[in-house]
Amino acid sequence: MALPQLTGFLFGGGEGHGGGEAAELHLAYCCVELETETAAAVEQAPLGLGTLLANASASGGERRAALCKSCHTLDEGGPNTAGPNLWGVVGRPVASVDGYNYTAALKAAGGAWTYDRLDQYLKNSQDYIPGTAMAQRFAKPAQRADILAYLGSLSANPVAFPAPVVIDEETANAGEEADEAGEEAPGGH
C-alpha cells in the first residue's frame, strides 16, 4: 500500500500542503492529560507550631515585621494607624484595642489571640477570617514562626510557646532546616 506516500509525493510540491499535514499530526499529540499536584499540599507545615517556635528567631521575625509596620505600630502604647497597635497581641482578646474601628468580621471572631490563631491569620488572613480588613499571606511556616516569636516578645509578660509535638518521623525530617536556629525560646515546658 504505497498510496499515502504517493499522495505525499503528488502534493509535496512546496505549496504548503506538507505544512498542513504536520500541523494535523501535531494536534494528535496535543491532549495528553498532565498530572499536576496543587501547591496546597506543599504549603502545609511539616512540623508542629511548638517545634517551629522553639527553633524560631525573634530577631529574624523583627526584620520581617518591618512590613507590618506600614500598617501597625508595635511599641507599648503606640497609636493605631491603618491597623491596631500590636504590643502584647499574643494572649490579647481579638479586636480589643481601644479606639480602633475593627471590622464586624474580626469582632465576631471572639476569644483571644493564641500563637496558633495568629499563625493561621498570618498564613492567609482572608481565608481564616473572611471579611477582615487585613489581606496578608505568609506561606512559609518557619518565617511565620519567626514573626510569631517576635510578636510574643512584645510584652512585659510573654506568653510561653506551645510545647513541641513531633508529628511523625517522615514529616519531621522534612523540616531539618529549623534545627539550625539557636535556642532563643523564652518559654515552653
Separation CA 22–CA 17 (nearest Å): 9
Q: Is 74 in the site for ligand HEC (CB under 6 A)?
A: no
Distance in Å, CB of 83 to ligand HEC, minimum: 3
Give the cell for residue 66: 518591618
Question: Can you tell me which of 40, 70, 110, 111 binds ligand HEC, judged by CB under 6 A?
Answer: 70
Q: How many CB atoms lie within 10 A of CB 109?
A: 17
Contact range with ligand HEC by CB under 6 A, out of 49-57, 101-109, 162-170, 180-188: 101-109
**Which among 32-40, 46-54, 126-134, 164-172 is the span making contact with ligand HEC, rule CB under 6 A?**
126-134
Answer whether 144's CB lies under 8 Å from 56's CB: no
CA 110 to chain CA mean position, Å: 23
45 makes contact with ligand HEC (CB under 6 A): no
Q: For residue 50, which of 137, 152, 136, 129 has the smallest C-alpha distance? A: 152
Taking alpha carbons only, the member of 56, 118, 54 closest to residue 86 is: 118
**Cβ neighbours of 118 (radius 10 Å):** 21
Q: Confirm if 185 and 160 have CB atoms less than 8 A apart.
A: no
Residue corresponding to grid cell 465576631: 108
> Which residue's CB is nearer to ligand HEC, number 30 or number 66?
66
Residue of the chain from 52, 56, 58, 94 that contacts ligand HEC (CB under 6 A): 94
Q: Which is nearer to ligand HEC, 14 or 77 (CB)?
A: 77
Number of residues located near ligand HEC, criterion CB under 6 A: 29
CA-closest candidate to residue 146, choices 72, 59, 22, 88: 59
Which residue's CB is nearer to ligand HEC, number 86 or number 149? Answer: 86
Of positions 11, 17, 62, 71, contacts ligand HEC by CB under 6 A: 71
Residue 111 in contact with ligand HEC, rule: CB under 6 A: no
Residues making contact with ligand HEC (CB under 6 A): 65, 67-68, 70-72, 82-84, 86, 89, 94-97, 102-103, 105-106, 113, 118, 121-122, 132-134, 136, 147, 151
